[in-house]
Amino acid sequence: MIQILPSLLAADGARLGDEIRRVEAAEADALHLDIMDAHFVPNLSFGPDVVRVTARCAPGLHRHVHLMLSRPDLYVAPFADAGAQTIQIHVEADCDIWQTLRMIRDRGLRTGLVLRPQTSPEAAFPYLALCDEVLFMTVNPGYGGQSFMPEVLPHIERLRKRLCSDGKPEFDIMVDGGINFETGAKAAAAGANQFVAGSFLFRQPDMGAAVAALRETCGQAFPGTF
């Protein structure tokens, strides 16, 4: 299933409530929330309180939390308590990845594992049984508005082929960073089926039309078999 997730990082912070409701009205599949600790990545963003705000402004919008933290294991509980419904952690984080994914699952949430552009897709293989999705960063994590890195495309293809040969063709592969119509279609052709987009979607005057068009474009580019 093709899914589109606007990233709140690109929203106008002076009108946060309106921006969250705009994502809900656009019929996006989830709201992507980028959490940065100024250690794992060279930037700081927001914490559990903003997740709480999104739960209040748009209770029906799935809260998809991407933890760019050196110690995500210490923050599973605060984000789960704030209303996160999916929690993603980086495979490069300084914690026991298996235990941390387990901790997220034990809370009844969806789990995701994230790979930096330089990390080989094989790094995710040992954890697939505990993951609901794998996210390939298609920019260096830390900032919105960067250019898509095409060198990640073969990584997506390797994981999709592996999943198909394991009899799991439905497994979700997500991309994040520099996504627009053109790069979304390239990622879909390589095997991605979920698309995070920040600056591209938030700058659209009609976000609903852009979400629908991106879903359509990526769906057309997603091959039947790998």
Inter-residue contact 223 to 187 (CB < 8 Å): no
Give the footprint of ligand DX5 on residues 168-207 (CB under 6 A).
176-179, 196-200
Q: Give alpha helix (H) positions in the chain.
A: 16-25, 48-57, 76-82, 97-106, 153-165, 181-190, 199-202, 207-221
Selection from ligand DX5, Zn ion, none that 124 binds (CB < 5 to 8 A by kind) is none
Sort strands 86-90 and 194-197 into parallel, antiparallel or unpaired. Answer: unpaired
Question: What CA–CA distance (Å, rounded) separates 21 from 143?
Answer: 23
Position 34 contacts ligand DX5 (CB under 6 A): yes
Minimum distance, C-beta of residue 18 to ligand DX5, in the bound complex (Å)? 19
Sheet holding 63-68, edge to edge: 3-6, 194-197, 172-176, 133-137, 110-115, 86-90, 63-68, 31-36
Q: Does residue number 176 form part of the binding site for Zn ion (CB under 5 A)? A: yes
Q: Which residue in the set 34, 65, 183, 184 belongs to the binding site for Zn ion (CB under 5 A)?
A: 34
Please select the residue that binds ligand DX5; options are 13, 42, 59, 145, rule is CB under 6 A.
Answer: 145
CB of 9 to Zn ion, least distance (A): 7
On the CB side of 144, how many CA atoms lie within 13 Å of its CA?
A: 22
Q: What is the DSSP letter of 107?
A: T
Contact criterion met (CB below 8 Å) for 71 and 99: no
Q: Which stretch binds Zn ion (CB under 5 A): 20-28, 63-71, 145-153, 214-222?
A: 63-71
Q: Is 7 in the site for ligand DX5 (CB under 6 A)?
A: yes
Which sequence positions are flagged as catalytic?
Answer: 34, 176
Contact between 9 and ligand DX5 by CB under 6 A: the answer reads yes
Contact pattern from residue 10 through residue 29 relative to ligand DX5, giving x for each residue in contact according to CB under 6 A and a dash for the rest = x-------------------
Does 89 sit near ligand DX5 (CB under 6 A)?
no
Question: Per rule CB under 6 A, is residue 72 in the interface with ligand DX5?
Answer: no
Q: Which residues bind ligand DX5 (CB under 6 A)?
A: 7, 9-10, 32, 34, 66, 139, 141-142, 144-146, 176-179, 196-200
